[in-house]
Structure 1
Amino acid sequence: MPYSFGNLAKNRKGSLITINYKRVIETWFDDEHKEYFYTREPNARFLDMGDISDQVALKEKLKCKDFGWFMENVAYDVYDKFPKLPKNVKWGMVKNKASSVCLDTMGKAAPAYIGTSACHGAGSNQLFRLNEAGQLGVGERCVEADADSLKQAICRLGTVDGPWRYEDETNHLIHRLHGYCLTLQPHSRTLALAPCDPNNTYQQWTITHKAPSW
């Protein structure tokens, strides 16, 4: 990056890139469109973005139209490829009951296998989200699975849905297409789909979040 964030970087905790995104969002977006950003980046709600009063004052002085007007009149075709996001029903660390480890992208870019590591609560590579339409994702990537692996992949263009659902009673993450549950294999420590067993704690997952302690 050939520039610095100047005063914004002083004593800031969390991702500076995401902090800067939040400053843009909170300055220019209306309430509806802000929520799409926070759906993708739930931890951004906790970030200290600093003072944006000058930016908001400039927006008001220039009598700028709201972001909804922009989307309706200028960028109306964006929704063809990037539909409005359903709300998250669950987000946070995905923790296995049997081993107390969490799903982790291991810092790899998609397409890549997803693994597990000690739960750290700082979000980032361990922050997963499940939306109302069944899309399980991490950031802007989607989670796919089969009998042998769990992967993060580039989401299919024009879609916001997916095959996943979470059962609160059993703590199962179920892949609706296969009808199987996400399972941590106890010997290999790999992730895969397997027939659901209510007594198998390696198939039981909690999805929780908390304010990160950056």
Structure 2
Amino acid sequence: WLEKLETYPEFSQFAPGGLRYKDRPDISNILEVKERLKCKPFGWFLRRFKKVYFDGGLVPDKVFHIKDERTNMCIERKGGTKVVLRPCSEQSPGQLWHGANRDTLTNTCCSSFRNWNTDQCLAIDSIGGQLYTGVCSTWGDFTSQWIKLDEATHQLQIAPGAYAKTRSGCIGGQRPKGTDVTLEDCENPNFRQIFKVDDKTGGILEVQSGECLTAANGKFELSPCEIDSDTGKVGGEQKFSLVDFDGKTRIEARDLGPRRPDALC
């Protein structure tokens, strides 16, 4: 395996033609022993202990960010065991994750997420608990680390295992309800200004966040869309009418309840 390091960018200076090629140590005696004993390649060693290196996720095929679609923030390990949501960054090693730990139901990888190049895996103990990291259980024994991403719903879920098959719950950040909608310059890149009328639900959506325009407390704000399970439509503070007014379109919210009989425009 030693000679294969020459193909790594970090060791290119020691390869033939490199700046430090002449500084290479003499390992001819080691290579002689290797040939005489017909030593296996390093890949054979990794495959020999497949349950540790591959099923345990120590040799991942990729690393990635875990992004919250609502806030556009990424999960980041911030020293020790603390986990936070931070603006996504290619330079932050705390935001690089990969699948890890044996899945006790399939005996293959993976049942958690490991912070790249560390021994720390995502973990959570119970509903209402705080997400944190702990030393990875490569064998998949720590139920607190059984966390999977549902490919259909894109939710981080508390996953079941061989001896805890009824675990359930989703991981998320509690978001303050109501982001004020204000009048800003159209060229201001820090404000989300693209809206559309959702024909299916009847709500007015802010395109980037997917949140609904909401009339609350005498002002407009953005909040998660609240869709009636029977009608499939938004109602109350998120129900608006587009009214033609003197050749222009006025947005009216009328269904604001008995405490607010007048319309909000």
The normalised TM-score by structure 1 is: 0.51
Deviation at 1:133, TM superposition (A): 2.3
Shift of 1:116: 1.2
Identity of aligned residues (%): 11
> CA separation of 1:69/1:180 partners in 2, compared to 1, >3 Å: closer, same or farther?
closer
Residue 142 (str. 1) matches residue 132 (str. 2): no
Could you tell me which amino acid in structure 1 is paired with residue 169 of structure 2? Y
Change (3 A) 1:91 1:71: closer
After TM superposition, give the deviation of residue 141 of structure 1 in Å: 1.2
Confirm or deny that 1:155 pairs with 2:136.
yes
User: Does structure 1 retain, via aligned residues, the 8 Å contact 2:147–2:159?
Assistant: yes
Contact 2:147 2:157 in 1 (8 A): yes
Aligned to 1:27, the other structure's residue is in SS state: helix
**How many aligned residue pairs are there?**
143
Larger RCO: Structure 1 or Structure 2 (Cα < 8 Å, ≥ 6 residues apart)? 1
- Equivalent residue for 2:94? 125
Conserved 8 A contact 1:27-1:52 = no
Alignment deviations for residues 86-112 of structure 1 (CA, whole Å, 9 cap, x no partner): 354763111110101111112x12xx2
Unaligned 5+ runs, structure 2: 16-20, 101-108, 161-166, 178-209, 212-223, 225-265
Provide the rounded CA distance (Å) in 2 between the counterparts of 1:174 and 1:127. 19
SS at match of 2:94: helix
Which residue, out of 150, 153, 167, partners 1:170? 153
1:115 is paired with a residue whose SS is strand
Structure 1 residues 115 and 60 mapped into 2: Cα distance closer, same or farther (>3 Å)?
farther
Partner residue, 1:94: 66
Using the size of structure 2 for normalisation, the TM-score is 0.42
Aligned residues of 1:128 and 1:137 also touching (Cα < 8 A): yes
Larger relative helix fraction: 1
Aligned to 2:248: none
Which residue of 2 is the match for residue 195 of structure 1? none
Q: Say if 1:59 and 1:98 are closer, same or farther in 2 by CA, change over 3 A.
A: farther
Q: Structure 1 residue runs of 4+, over 2 Å off?
A: 23-28, 47-72, 82-91
Give 1:163 shift. 1.5
Which structure has the larger Rg over C-alpha atoms?
Answer: 2
Verify: 1:50 aligned to 2:12, yes or no. yes
Aligned counterpart, 1:209: none
